Amino acid sequence: MATLKAHALFLLVATTSALLLSSAVDAICVSRKPQSLESASLKTLPQTPASFKRPPSGPLASLSASFKKPLSNALASLSASKAAVVVDHMVADICHLTDYPDICISSVGAHLKGPADVLSLLAAEIEACTEKMKSAAAEVTKLAADPSASPATKMALSACDENYSSALDSLSSAQEAIAAHDAGTLNSELSAVITFVTTCDDSFAEMTMNSPLEGTGRILQKLGSNCLAIAARAHL
Convert residues 97-126 into a mask of x (bound to ligand NAG by CB under 6 A) and - (unbound). Answer: ------------------------------
User: At closest approach, how far in Å is the CB of 160 from ligand NAG?
Assistant: 7
The answer to whether 170 and 196 have CB atoms below 8 angstroms apart is yes
Of the candidates 199, 219, 233, 236, which one interacts with ligand NAG according to CB under 6 A? Answer: 199
* Residue 21 vs 167, nearer CB to ligand NAG: 167
Query: Quick check: 221 binds ligand NAG (CB under 6 A)?
Result: no
Of the candidates 195, 219, 232, 233, which one interacts with ligand NAG according to CB under 6 A? Answer: 195
* Residue 57 vs 198, nearer CB to ligand NAG: 198
The answer to whether 77 and 49 have CB atoms below 8 angstroms apart is no
User: At closest approach, how far in Å is the CB of 202 from ligand NAG?
Assistant: 9
**Residue 41 phi, psi dihedral angles, 5° rounding:** -65, 145
Query: Quick check: 166 binds ligand NAG (CB under 6 A)?
Result: yes
Buried b / exposed e along 29-41 (16+ C-beta atoms within 10 A): eeebeeebeebbe
User: At closest approach, how far in Å is the CB of 218 from ligand NAG?
Assistant: 18
Of 76, 56, 81, residue with least CA distance to 66: 76
CA distances from residue 128 to 97, 108, 138, 186, 191 in whole angstroms, order as listed: 17, 6, 16, 16, 16
CA distances from residue 105 to 47, 100, 109, 210 in whole angstroms, order as listed: 21, 9, 7, 30
- Give residue 209's identity as a one-letter amino acid code: M
User: At closest approach, how far in Å is the CB of 155 from ligand NAG?
Assistant: 9
**Residue 56 phi, psi dihedral angles, 5° rounding:** -60, 130
The secondary structure element, H or E, covering residue 115 is none
Query: What 8-state DSSP symbol labels residue 149?
Result: -
Query: Quick check: 162 binds ligand NAG (CB under 6 A)?
Result: yes
Query: Quick check: 204 binds ligand NAG (CB under 6 A)?
Result: no
The SS3 assignment for 180 reads: coil
Query: Quick check: 163 binds ligand NAG (CB under 6 A)?
Result: yes
From 35-43, 159-167, 173-181, 182-190, give the range in contact with ligand NAG by CB under 6 A.
159-167
Query: Quick check: 196 binds ligand NAG (CB under 6 A)?
Result: yes
User: At closest approach, how far in Å is the CB of 215 from ligand NAG?
Assistant: 19
User: At closest approach, how far in Å is the CB of 130 from ligand NAG?
Assistant: 18
Q: Which residues bind ligand NAG (CB under 6 A)?
A: 159, 162-163, 166, 195-196, 199
